[in-house]
Amino acid sequence: MNTSSLVRADVASASNYYTTIEVAKMLGMAVRSVQLMVDRGDLQAWKTPGGHRRISRESLERWLAGSRSGGRTDAGVAPEGAATGRESPRRLRMGQRPPRLLLIEDSTHFQNLVALLLKQKFPGLEVHVASDGITGLASFGQLQPDLLVVDIMLPGIDGANLITGLRSHALFGQCKLIVLTGLDEAQRAPYAFALDQVPVVHKPRLVNDLPPLIEQLLGNRMSAAVQEHRVETA
């Protein structure tokens, strides 16, 4: 065994690397989705002599954490409503930013519906949209939102594991969570472990139920943002 192989084996045994399956379980993704992330360079990995990927812990943590930023991110999250990068001089002086919401939803119809509804109800709210779970995870670390609204049924990713994984991660911090779903109460039973004490909005009642929940969870910050918007546009 050459020196390079010895070093790799030693590093791998020190738990600095994960298998593809381990990363898939941690992120609530399909193994194939993790493999694609490696192929795209989102995660750094090497292969064992047997052809198995070993993903560096550092690259996974870096991908999760991202870099704090507003506006359009490298992950392709398009902000809606109060776009960032153009906060009012008053906000900049006070070191404030508007409340930030991240929506992870693959349906273009519901993306547009939620964005339109929130723009109408909460003009001071900064809204970002991710159309898939992988982009949403990257964007979460980059945006550090105050509120996450996520569809539990997302293609290529286990929404329930995504939710439980985020809630247990240090990055989640004080972020609030709302689950958006087209599943009725009986259909949601298999996901009960992930939905414990989490507000759920059934898509047929989205227009009626989502705004009051946002107002309740964001509280005074939302009221202040609405007032600030009124002052700026007066």
What is the average pLDDT across 182-187? 92
Of 80 and 28, more confident? 28
The answer to whether residues 126 and 70 touch, using CB atoms and an 8 Å cutoff, is: yes
In order of their start, the domains of the chain are 3-65 (1.10.1660.10), 78-233 (3.40.50.2300)
DSSP letters of 185-207? TTTTGGGHHHHTT--EEEGGGHH
pLDDT at 222: 64
The radius of gyration computed from the CA coordinates of the chain, to the nearest angstrom, equals 20
Q: What is the pLDDT of residues 49-102, one digit of tens each?
A: 888 888 888 888 777 765 333 333 333 334 443 333 344 444 433 346 789 999
Q: How confident is the model at residue 200 (pLDDT cuts 50, 70, 90)?
A: very high
The greatest distance separating any two alpha carbons of the chain, rounded to the nearest whole angstrom, comes to: 73
* pTM reported for the whole predicted model: 0.60
Please tell me which of 17-31, 32-46, 84-98, 213-227 the model is most confident about, judged by mean pLDDT: 32-46
